[in-house]
Amino acid sequence: MKKTLLLAVLAGILFTQCTDEKDPFMISNVAVGPITKDTKVMQLDSIFAQDSIVKLNPIENALGTQGEVEVYDKGGAKLLLLSPNDENDPNSKITNIQIFDDRYKTDKGLTSKSTFKDVKENYTVKSVETTIRSVVVFLENSPIYLTIDKMELPENLRYDPSVKVEASQIPDTATFKYFMIGWEADTASVEN
């Protein structure tokens, strides 16, 4: 009887540990899959050991990964574009992430393939910045920001760069040109 009870407890513990595995594609305010706000460029080789890392601006005589990199999975699908605070410092933290793969998602289901309707239903828009060819949407209490091509907007908003676009003017069907995460650079490490 004791052996059966012991086996049941062990099986329960093992089952609980297996279900506690972190989703490798979950986006939160402090992490994107295995990357956190504290991840340094020099750690990317070990974090993505099973994937391919492409250095966009290779630095001569660099001992490890430095600068901006793209990450591809084993099948060749582009996952992420990672940008550090300082491209020349392998100890620099990742501060910007562009997400390409729609397996990366927030707890509310937002992905790179979502529409603006998904944003309006699940998030509060903090602000909308207008550029020449797009609008950038910043979300309240989130490091996520989205770029929407002006061609997705009503025609009267597309061609005048001085027009202020409001969130209510963006159609529900608008898709994202860029799905980004932006973390503030650690000013203490910049000063040292």
Q: How high is the pLDDT of residue 184?
A: 84
First-to-last alpha carbon distance for the chain, in angstroms, is: 62
Q: Which domain holds residue 36?
A: 26-186
Asked if the structure places residue 155 within a domain, the reply is: yes
Asked if the structure places residue 8 within a domain, the reply is: no
Asked if the structure places residue 93 within a domain, the reply is: yes
User: Rounded to whole angstroms, how far apart are CA atoms 36 and 160?
Assistant: 38
Asked if the structure places residue 145 within a domain, the reply is: yes
Asked if the structure places residue 170 within a domain, the reply is: yes
* pLDDT tens by residue, the chain, 192 residues: 555 544 444 455 544 444 456 899 999 999 999 999 999 999 999 999 999 999 887 666 555 555 799 999 999 999 999 999 988 888 999 999 999 999 999 999 999 999 999 999 999 999 999 999 999 999 999 999 999 999 999 999 998 888 999 999 999 999 999 999 999 865 443 333
Residues 104, 95: contact at Cβ < 8 Å?
A: no
Q: What is the 3-state secondary structure (H, E, C) of 1-16?
A: CHHHHHHHHHHHHHHH
Q: Is the pTM of this model over 0.75?
A: yes
Total tally of structural domains belonging to the chain: 1
Asked if the structure places residue 126 within a domain, the reply is: yes
Token reading at 33: 């899959």
CATH number of the domain that 133 lies in? 2.60.460.10
Asked if the structure places residue 15 within a domain, the reply is: no
Where does the chain have alpha helices with state H?
A: 2-19, 44-47, 116-122, 187-191
Asked if the structure places residue 109 within a domain, the reply is: yes
